[in-house]
Amino acid sequence: MTDEKLLQRASRGDESAFMLLYERHRASVFRFAYRLLGSTALAEEVTHDCFLSLVKAPARFDPRRAASLRTYLFAAARNLAFKHLRQHSGETSLDDALTDASPTDFGETPLGRLLEAELAEAVRKAVAALPALQREAVVLFEYEELPLAEIARIVEADVGTVKSRLYRARASLRRSLAPYFKSHERVAAVERVYK
């Protein structure tokens, strides 16, 4: 069953249709919100409000404007996340910084695990340090792997603008994560040899 039909049924009070819709998109919406906000609690809040707004006003979802329900949900999550960012600008959760930084892919050795955790934390900080518009472009393109046209619809900008933001975001990330690139390691190793 398509998302549109499920939404119709959910708006009429069909609980199972709503839950099916939620199961389809909850993970991606939560991940997106989490990477934008850097907090599990805030991401939860955004996900909750996002799906609830879908039930409150299902007519807002216009298939002609948003290509799919996923696009609409990402756009709604983005707006809610930006609202949170405006309200709580500069606030970071210490718990999140400590707990969410732990990667799932641990290394074989304790040292490897430690390095993985350090790298994940560095990436998180580098992404969090990006401006919001560049951050959302990176998250949608790199993590959610959406095509540029869909990203442009979500962020309500043209494709060129999205590319521009992506380019600048990548440049910024390269600079901040330079010590973790293998090429950089090789260069550094050569430098060490030659020294």
Partner 1 sequence: MKEKKYLRLLPFRAQDDSRRAGDDGGRLEWHDDDELSRLLHKWEAPDAPRATDARLLASFRRETAIAAPFRRRFWNASVSVPLPVAALAVLALLCITATLLVRPFRLSRETAGEVAPHASETTKVIEVPVIQERIVYVERGARRKQSARDENFSERRPSQQRVRQQATSPQPLARGERRSAPDAETHGTGYFTRVNMEEFHPANQMQIRVIKRGNGDEK
Residue ranges that bind partner 1, judged by CB under 8 A: 10, 13, 15, 18-19, 22, 26-27, 30-31, 34-35, 40, 43-44, 47-48, 51-52, 55-56, 100, 103-105, 116, 119-120, 123-124, 127, 138, 141-143, 145, 147-150, 159-160, 163, 166, 170, 173-174, 177, 180-183
CA–CA distances in Å: residue 177 to residues 90, 99, 140, 180:
22, 21, 19, 6
Residues 6 or more apart whose CB falls under 8 angstroms from that of 64 comprise none
Residue closer to partner 1 by CB (options 120, 133) is 120
158-164: long-range contacts at Cβ-Cβ below 8 A with a sequence spacing of 24 or more? 162/137
Shortest distance, position 169 Cβ to partner 1, whole Å: 10
**In sequence order, what E strands does the chain have?**
none
Residue closer to partner 1 by CB (options 35, 78) is 35
Residue closer to partner 1 by CB (options 74, 194) is 74
Residue 147 three-state SS: coil
Residue 8 three-state SS: helix
DSSP string, 41-57: HHHHHHHHHHHHHHHH-
Residue closer to partner 1 by CB (options 155, 166) is 166
Shortest distance, position 148 Cβ to partner 1, whole Å: 4
